[in-house]
Amino acid sequence: MSEHNQFTMQDPRYQYPPGDTGKNSNQPDPALDRKLSPAAEHGDKIYKGNGRLKGRKALITGGDSGIGRAVAIAYCREGADVVINYLPSEEEDAHSLIKLLTDEGQKIKGIPGDIKEEGFCQKLVNEAADFLEGIDILVNNAGKQQHQDSFDKLTSEQFRTTFETNIFSMFYITKAAVKFMPPGATIINSTSIQSYQPSAGLLDYASTKGAITAFTHGLAKLLIDKGIRVNGVAPGPIWTPIQQSGGQPAKKLDGFGEHVPMGRPGQPVELAPAYVFLASQESSYMTAEIIGVTGGEHLP
């Protein structure tokens, strides 16, 4: 991993090495960042904040690992108080993140639970709002991705569960959170390059990401009357535990992400600035937009 901070000019092709992403490809779903090999870069040591979110109150789903973890680190270092949600089986990753950030001057809390359940989503938002004394940033980031190499192998149960995790929960959580959100608040949804360029083996996942993109566009038009902005981020191939827990077939893990013009997978820390920008007042004239962070696999 790079020893530079995020402000040092570098050749982006080599800022993070491709690495041997074929190792340890049999993690169970959901997987842990601690077991990811090679390790991902979340910005633990290199992300330096500038007070861009001072005084803000953020709820991040899927905040224990991957992109959500990088966003939680960035938000805390930019001055926000943060609540992360995660599955109980991901407690180890969540605990390590909370331990990392506890002494950095911001409030941070983890709330475990399954966001497929509408009742839990309402409980999560209420507990987060109580801890934070409000919510003015919501990052809908948690997601399920399981590759199936043939249509016959894609079961009704997997299709339903992927939709429940990726898009139904986004509706439940957002509906519960909006009542706490003042004018100037922001919602940021994690969609994907799969929304625009779906892979054959990710039919259910890509379908949910298409729904998230449309949900983002439509919700933005509904909520701007309340002064709430809604935008999204569409990652390309990013090195996270989801890839090693069935998100990609084992044969595709070796050389994962090297097909994009930049020639390597992205690291979670490389997504964090987009989420910071969309949460901050710097993006005040942006709503119903999707920012692509794809290594050159551009959005249409």
**Residues designated as active site:** 205
Cα-trace Rg, the chain: 18
Q: Which amino acid is at 32?
A: L
Strands 108-112 and 290-293: unpaired
Q: SS3 of 82, please?
A: strand
Q: Which helix (H) or strand (E) segment is 123 a member of?
A: helix 118-132
CB 144 within 8 A of CB 167: no
Q: SS3 of 209, please?
A: helix
- Reference 246, options 276, 205, 278; nearest CA is 205
Q: Which amino acid is at 75?
A: Y
- Residue 7: count of CB within 10 angstroms of its CB: 8
Distance of alpha carbon 180 from its chain centroid, rounded?
22
Calculate the alpha carbon distances from 77 to 231, 249, 279, 298 in Å.
22, 35, 14, 29
